[in-house]
Structure 1
Amino acid sequence: MINFPIMKRLSSNLTFTRSVRLLPIAAAIVLAGCSSMAPEYERSNSSVANEWQFEAIEKTVEDTQGLSSQQALDIPWKDFIKDERLEQVIDLALSSNRSLRETIADVESARATYRIQRSDLFPDVNVSLSGDRTKYSTGEIDTTYEAQAGFSSYELDLFGKNRSLSEAEMETYLASSETAKAAKISLIGEVANAWLTLAADSNLLSLAEETASNAKQAMDITNKRLSYGVDSRIDVASAETIYYNARSDIASYKTQVEQDKNALRLLVGEKFDDSLLAYTLPADSYGGSDSLVTDVPAGVSSDVLLVRPDVLSAEHDLKSANANIGAARAAFFPTISLTATGGLASSVLSDIFSGGASSIWSIAPSISLPIFDGGENKANLAYSEAQQQKYLAAYEYAIQSAFTEVADALARRATIRDQLDAEDALVEASTRSYELSLARYENGVDSFQTALESQRTMYSAKQSLITTRQAELSNRLTLYKVLGGGLAHTEGEAK
């Protein structure tokens, strides 16, 4: 807007404008009276069951109710992780992981964008001091000094457009903040799983090396018996099969161990000492897991999912879309802008600051009413409403996905103990079978094929047990994560 000051020339060669004060009180009243045209937000009633409905899952929940009165989201990750080495590795990852840094930078960007948008709710106040000295053809010298304060082109938010836009940016910022929390929780789980995968693959490597050593001994015995004419070449060839199979596994597991280290280094984002790594899983089938991670009680209500960071992020996106509808609706109404200044003028500069100056003012309001825009406002409103429906569906899907993740984790938890017990017993039985059949073979009572088959069964059973131990630990990590675990520690960090 163009500022048109009203000037008056006095006999003392002082040019100034007389005025009333600037209108800060009136502007404040207008600001306080702003209202939003956004639809009232109501949390969606998603079509997800309120309880975990499966019998096996319910039994698992009952079995863990006495463990703790806390839920997963109340347990900081440092209380959940019990191994000091793993805790140190996770700490390093939280401070150095590049992907997490990128996410946190997005949060800071969203916060700055919100602050930029919010600034439209307030006028830009400027202060100026100017002087003018003019000599006329008559020889007169006219001097004028002015000190002014005012704002220009300030839009009075009568229909809440700027307030709705500010609210939309605030919700976007909150969504990014929740996304950062979810990223931290996810990173904790990824690092822990990578650490455990390295331990499991190292276990498998040790098992393959042990099996190759035992197979080599059996192969040497068979070769000696062949030289005595007791065994045939088929027995030697059979002994060689498990030996070379174990050697092949050794090469494969060595590769996997190195790749596991590389994956862990990438997640951590910086170098760390190898002493922080694990090269074996707990020896016993179930209780040993407690030395690494806590067994978290699941609780019985699915309401806990509503405070998961990823679900809250989706809800904030929905609220942002809701606020954008208010801004689109407000665009149909008139826009009122105001330019105003006020200050003091004097022929002597010192008079401005000593009270000897005269007051000046200028005010220039304007109003703009949309009449024809080619359907732009209607299209913007339709777009905002469609976006709101999109984010509503995304929010409901986030809740459904969260429910499915928890149900899947609980379903695995309900059966993993039985599987571990069975595989423990299988390893014990197959080991006894191998030892007995090998002794019978060495004493000439049984054929080498029986001992060979027992050795293969034992090797396979031990491999399965290691894999299942890892799966049990991974299941604990997964259940902790999908129930919002770690939130107590990450709360307030992404600000």
Structure 2
Amino acid sequence: MSPLVNRPNGARLHRLLSSAIVSSLLLILPACSIPQLRRASPAAARPESFHGTTNLEGEATTAEDSNEFDSLENSAHMGWYEFFEDPMLAGLIDQAIVGNQELRILAQEIQIANNEVQARSGEYLPFVTFGAGAGIEKPGQYTREGAVEDQLEVRPGQAFPEPLPDFLVATNLRWELDIWRKLRNAKDAACLRYLGTRDGQNYVVTRMVAEVAENYYELLALDNQLATLDTTIELQQKSLETAKAMKEQARGTELAVQRFQAEVHKNESEKLIIQQQIVEAENRINFLLGRYPQRVDRTNVEYIDLNLHALSIGVPSQLLQNRSDIRQAERELGAAGLDIKVARARFYPSLALNAGVGYRAFDAKYLFSTPESLIYNVAGDLVAPLINKKAIKADYRSANAKQIQVVYNYQRTVLNAFTEVINYMAKVDNYGKSIEIKKQQLASLEGSVDSATKLFQNARGEYLDVLLSQRDMMESKMILIETKQEQLAATVKAYQALGGGGTLGG
């Protein structure tokens, strides 16, 4: 072929090579200035078992005892109806689920997160707008626009009207092509945060269930302490009558009468304090239920012998599935990783398409004349940051720092969950053993009260022995009730720590 034929092909090839080089530079140069990511320090290795303990009876299950961790029994899989086995308490929890204001606030947070997902989902789709307009314009005769219009005609012999109307009906489209998944990653991060808010709501449910149960059992404890004071006052009243009778018979003194009288007054005063504590405990429950102060119905049971469902704790790996706060922290971790990808994509070029189609004319009767009044345009924008990228780098580093924060928060959440299970399970066990010993102590003191009372009635013992025996028995019974309350609270907390009671369905 002759050089005259080859030259156009060579020019075309040269233009293609130039375009390829420019495009490559637009893609490569931004990546050269992206800062290095920092990494969080690794967490300590998670233990494979809770010191081998899985239940209150002390039976042990270690990692070696089972090849399937997920098949181990775990109390977190029980609903609160099954775990507490108290219809009145379950009814209170149901009311709290419906009326608790914190849960209602969280429901709106979930709705806000869902709206954010919807907004992010629309960003990587084309934006289409429709509009219509009308206007009028009169340029000055001694301006460029006016001078040009004097020389123009719509058609031969027909000049443009003066002033010049303008009618427009058009549809415009703008579409940013998500070539680096920036917009889709932002949507995925919003989805993870939405799921995290649902997990957060479930965690608040577990906490609220535990708070209602704790206050309920505290209320039962206060009822039993009040009953103990009534029983003690009744005994002391009998001793007071005995002391008065012995004084009248010259077998006793006024000192014994006054001491018994003082003890009765002291315990009557304690009753008023406990009654106030009952009012406050009831209103704590009412607040959790979202209702105004009123009496709280509760079961009349023998408090000391009250036992909840036996706890089975499984293995630490199950906490990652059962604890809502851990799942929420995990989703936040995933969202933070996507945020870094979004921030990184800002270093690369963005490609946007703009297009429009419509009708435009100076007279409404010509507005929809086709093709005379038809207008359209199509354009593409390829934009890449080249100079002064401090803001983009700062956002990228901030996203990295936030990711490291979320990593440490996840590590802390897992560590806290493991620690809570260990602490509360140990408390349930130790307080249970303490209760058995205190029961033996109480039985001995009840026997001493009976012996001292008989000796005093027969003038063979001192009134002080009766008074001290009654006081010791009452204090022992009150401490036993408090210890039982602590054990029940620890059981409830252990159930919460395992992730139990975290679903709205019970």
Fraction of identical pairs, as percent = 20
Query: Structure 1 residue 125: deviation in Å?
Result: 2.4
SS at match of 1:365: strand
Query: Structure 1 residue 350: deviation in Å?
Result: 9.1
Counterpart in the other structure of 2:46: 48
Counterpart in the other structure of 1:173: 194
| Superposed CA offset, 1:182-241 (max 9, x none) | 001111111111111111111111211221222122122213322333223332333234
Inter-CA distance 220–239: structure 2 relative to 1 (3 Å threshold): same
Counterpart in the other structure of 2:249: 228
2:42, 2:300 → 1: CA distance? 47
Number of aligned residues: 440
1:118 corresponds to 2:121: yes
Counterpart in the other structure of 2:269: 248
Query: Structure 1 residue 266: deviation in Å?
Result: 0.6
Task: State how 1:96-495 maps to structure 2 within 5 Å.
Answer: 96-127=99-130, 138=157, 149-152=171-174, 154-270=175-291, 274=295, 277-278=297-298, 280-285=300-305, 288-289=306-307, 293-299=308-314, 301-307=315-321, 308-342=323-357, 361-373=376-388, 375-487=390-502, 489-490=503-504
Query: Structure 1 residue 441: deviation in Å?
Result: 0.6
SS at match of 2:491: helix
Q: Which amino acid letter does the alignment assign opposite residue 194 of structure 1? A: N
1:70, 1:53 → 2: CA distance? 16
Give the conservation status (yes or no) of the 8 Å contact 2:320–2:327.
Answer: yes
1:158, 1:469 → 2: CA distance? 63
Q: Which amino acid letter does the alignment assign opposite residue 188 of structure 1? A: V
Give the conservation status (yes or no) of the 8 Å contact 1:179–1:309.
Answer: yes
SS at match of 2:185: helix
Inter-CA distance 43–180: structure 2 relative to 1 (3 Å threshold): farther
Structure 1, unmatched stretches of 5+, are 1-36
Query: Structure 1 residue 148: deviation in Å?
Result: 5.5
- Which is greater in Rg? 2
Counterpart in the other structure of 2:82: 79
SS at match of 1:278: coil
Structure 2, unmatched stretches of 5+, are 1-33, 66-70, 137-152
SS at match of 1:105: helix
Q: Which amino acid letter does the alignment assign opposite residue 375 of structure 1? A: K
TM-score (norm. length: structure 1): 0.79
Counterpart in the other structure of 1:23: none
Greater relative contact order (Cα < 8 A, sep 6+): 1
Give the conservation status (yes or no) of the 8 Å contact 2:367–2:373.
Answer: no
Give the conservation status (yes or no) of the 8 Å contact 1:219–1:240.
Answer: yes
Task: State how 1:28-67 maps to structure 2 within 5 Å.
Answer: 46-53=44-51, 60-62=58-60
1:46, 1:261 → 2: CA distance? 43
1:48, 1:456 → 2: CA distance? 50
Query: Structure 1 residue 405: deviation in Å?
Result: 0.3
Inter-CA distance 182–55: structure 2 relative to 1 (3 Å threshold): closer
Give the conservation status (yes or no) of the 8 Å contact 1:168–1:321.
Answer: yes
Select the residue among 84, 88, 92 that pairs with 1:89.
Answer: 92
1:440, 1:49 → 2: CA distance? 60
SS at match of 1:332: coil
Inter-CA distance 450–294: structure 2 relative to 1 (3 Å threshold): same
1:368, 1:360 → 2: CA distance? 26
Inter-CA distance 110–186: structure 2 relative to 1 (3 Å threshold): same
SS at match of 1:490: coil
1:332, 1:309 → 2: CA distance? 36
Give the conservation status (yes or no) of the 8 Å contact 2:304–2:481.
Answer: no
Query: Structure 1 residue 335: deviation in Å?
Result: 2.0
SS at match of 2:484: helix
- Answer with 250-259 or 112-121: which moved more: 112-121
Query: Structure 1 residue 137: deviation in Å?
Result: 9.3
Give the conservation status (yes or no) of the 8 Å contact 1:61–1:297.
Answer: no
Inter-CA distance 77–59: structure 2 relative to 1 (3 Å threshold): closer
TM-score (norm. length: structure 2): 0.77
Counterpart in the other structure of 2:22: none
Query: Structure 1 residue 406: deviation in Å?
Result: 0.2
1:284, 1:198 → 2: CA distance? 14
Give the conservation status (yes or no) of the 8 Å contact 1:60–1:410.
Answer: no
Give the conservation status (yes or no) of the 8 Å contact 1:200–1:281.
Answer: no
- Answer with 332-341 or 133-142: which moved more: 133-142
Q: Which amino acid letter does the alignment assign opposite residue 316 of structure 2? A: S
SS at match of 2:354: strand
2:194, 2:53 → 1: CA distance? 41
